[in-house]
Amino acid sequence: MHDDKDSVVRQASLNEWMQLFEATLLEREPIARARRLQLAKDAVMDRIEGLSGNTSDGERQLLLATLRTILQLEQSIMPSRFQNHEFGPTLGQPA
């Protein structure tokens, strides 16, 4: 019975971050997209932090790939956040 509960909790967590990420990809309004992106990132990070030893490699890889995509989206839709004059230009930009 305990395994069934763990499975349901894992599936709910999986669905939550996936739904938030999908909503981010579909959002067209820039301010709402940035907010959704942060919510999706938080949900993915929470899921990664909550992973236990019995989590599948597939889910772990999916989470990491999603996090990389979120970070790339953040950089593309909010470049000023990643280009602080104190720290120099962002990667790929001339100094």
Please report, for residues 9, 12, 72, 92, the alpha-carbon distance to residue 79 in angstroms, rounded to integers and kept in the order given.
36, 33, 10, 12
Question: pLDDT for 5-62, tens place per residue?
Answer: 555 555 556 688 999 999 999 999 989 999 999 999 999 999 888 887 777 888 889 9
User: For residue 29, is it within any domain?
Assistant: yes
Between 57 and 86, where is the model more confident?
A: 57
User: For residue 73, is it within any domain?
Assistant: yes
User: For residue 84, is it within any domain?
Assistant: no
Residue 28, pLDDT score: 92
19, 47 contact by CB (below 8 A):
no
Structural domain containing residue 19: 2-77
User: For residue 83, is it within any domain?
Assistant: no
Could you give the CA distance from residue 10 to residue 5 in angstroms, rounded to a whole number?
A: 9
- Number of folded domains that form the chain: 1
Between 78 and 26, where is the model more confident?
A: 26
User: For residue 85, is it within any domain?
Assistant: no
User: For residue 31, is it within any domain?
Assistant: yes
**Statement: residue 1 has pLDDT above 50:** no
Residue 23, pLDDT score: 93
Residue 48, pLDDT score: 87
**Statement: residue 88 has pLDDT above 50:** no
User: For residue 51, is it within any domain?
Assistant: yes
User: For residue 82, is it within any domain?
Assistant: no
Residue 56, pLDDT score: 80
Q: What is the pTM of this model?
A: 0.68
